[in-house]
Amino acid sequence: MTGFNPILADFYAAGGSEFALHYLCIMTSLYIDIPDAFSVPLTLDFLQRSPRELLHRIDNGRIYKLLRVVDERVLFEIVPEDNLLHINFLIHEPSVAATQYIKSYVREWFDLDTDLQPFYHLVAHDKLLGPLVKQYFGYRIVGQPDLYESLVWAVLGQQINLTFAYTLKQRFVEQFGERLVWDAHTYYMFPPAEDVALLSDADLLPLQFSRQKSQYIIRLAEAFASGEISREKLQGLPLEQAKTQLMKVKGIGNWTANYALMKTFRYPNAFPREDAGLHNAIKNLQGMASKPTLDEVSSLFTRYKGWEAYATLYFWKSL
DNA sequence: CGCCAGGTTAGAG
DNA sequence: CTCTAACATGGC
């Protein structure tokens, strides 16, 4: 605890302890309202895609995560309840600013502020997506509020299968990320750009990064550490301008830029048109003999105009 | 062993 | 602007 709390001061003066713990629990609670079209089980499924994920932990339907907020380390759990998410801060009470940050982080992470009704209305009778949005009602884009982390993860996943991408990420986070042990579990944070900027191929090649991935990631970290790129600089730009800025960095092509625009900036019309998984999903659902060409993808997506990101999410879900 | 994977770049036409 | 080779390595 930091700062003076008159109630706790009175309490400590009285010499009790059980009451203090109880009181702390109440103090460190936070509630987030969730919209109707939000599926907790589907969100948890997504978060548990890989057993190698170290940046959050799911246990008994609760989500645990450690975040750095300026110079604070905040460990919290998210407890889904009927129409809200209950957030408990563990270890210690965060500052007011950090509390607000966590609250907006979670809202962004699960995209709780998007009204999905227009999308559901648009594709209700769509031959391809209609059945999917019924089956996976309330499935939302789990985003990545941190632009740097979003881009590094996208580069890690370029041209390799997702299983191996998670292996690389696990090694990267274990070796270079800060960790905190609490209640017999280890929580990790993504390696900060300032640290990664100082690495070299000699550090990353042993983790089985290709020379290309190693270079892309180090240069990306340098760009963030120097302030050359930041979420703040790109926030609010029109989609095409933001994409152009991102693609100036080596290793960020059209696919990666769109991925970040979709997962971090949440442009509803951004989507990775070149994505292999998307192509396979379309091929399967259409019963095509081979994967669609880029022109065919563009043509198909005209009917999802304004909701391309969510259309892509449900195509991926079909795989 | 072969094919593919949540691609990107540099270079040629 | 489009097409191609090179990159690099695990998963299945």
Closest-CA residue to A259 (of A144, A182, A168): A144
Q: Cα–Cα distances in Å, from A187 out to A53, A102, A122? A: 11, 16, 41
pLDDT at A27: 56
Q: For A132-161, what is the mean pLDDT?
A: 97
Share of chain A above pLDDT 70, in %: 91
Given a contact cutoff of 8 angstroms between Cβ atoms, the answer to whether A185 and A72 are in contact is no
Report chain A's terminal Cα–Cα distance, integer Å.
47
- The least confident of A22-31, A65-74, A134-143 is A22-31
- Kindly report, residue by residue over A25-55, the tens digit of the pLDDT: 445 689 999 999 999 999 999 999 999 999 9
Phi, psi of A80 (to 5 degrees): -70, 130
Q: For A252-278, what is the mean pLDDT?
A: 96
Nucleotides in chain C near protein beta carbons (<7 Å): 7-12
Nucleotide nearest to A272 (CA to C1'): B6
Q: For A199-218, what is the mean pLDDT?
A: 96
pLDDT at A96: 95
pLDDT confidence of A15, banded at 50, 70, 90?
Answer: very low
Given a contact cutoff of 8 angstroms between Cβ atoms, the answer to whether A93 and A74 are in contact is no
Comparing every residue's Cα with the C1' atom of nucleotide B10, the nearest one is: A250
Answer whether any strand B atom is within 7 A of the Cβ of A157: yes
**Euclidean distance between CA atoms A165 and A49, whole angstroms:** 12
Nucleotide nearest to A210 (CA to C1'): C8
Mean pLDDT score of chain A: 91
Answer whether any strand C atom is within 7 A of the Cβ of A167: yes
pLDDT at A233: 96
**In Å, what is the separation between the CA of A209 and the C1' of C8?**
9
Share of chain A above pLDDT 90, in %: 88
Nucleotides in chain B near protein beta carbons (<7 Å): 4-10
Nucleotide nearest to A167 (CA to C1'): C10
A146 is an active site residue: no
Full-model pTM:
0.91
Look at residue A121 and tell me whether its pLDDT is greater than 60: yes
Mapped onto helix, strand or coil, the DSSP state of residue A234 is helix
- Kindly report, residue by residue over A153-208, the tens digit of the pLDDT: 999 999 999 999 999 999 999 999 999 999 999 999 999 999 999 999 999 999 99
**In Å, what is the separation between the CA of A169 and the C1' of C3?**
33
pLDDT confidence of A289, banded at 50, 70, 90?
Answer: confident
**Euclidean distance between CA atoms A208 and A33, whole angstroms:** 43
**Euclidean distance between CA atoms A52 and A166, whole angstroms:** 6
Nucleotide nearest to A208 (CA to C1'): C9
Answer whether any strand C atom is within 7 A of the Cβ of A293: no
pLDDT at A275: 93
Answer whether any strand C atom is within 7 A of the Cβ of A210: yes
Element (H, E) at A120: helix A117-123
**In Å, what is the separation between the CA of A113 and the C1' of C2?**
40
Q: For A215-224, what is the mean pLDDT?
A: 96
pLDDT confidence of A12, banded at 50, 70, 90?
Answer: very low
**In Å, what is the separation between the CA of A275 and the C1' of C6?**
20
Answer whether any strand B atom is within 7 A of the Cβ of A159: yes
Residue A200 has what DSSP assignment?
-
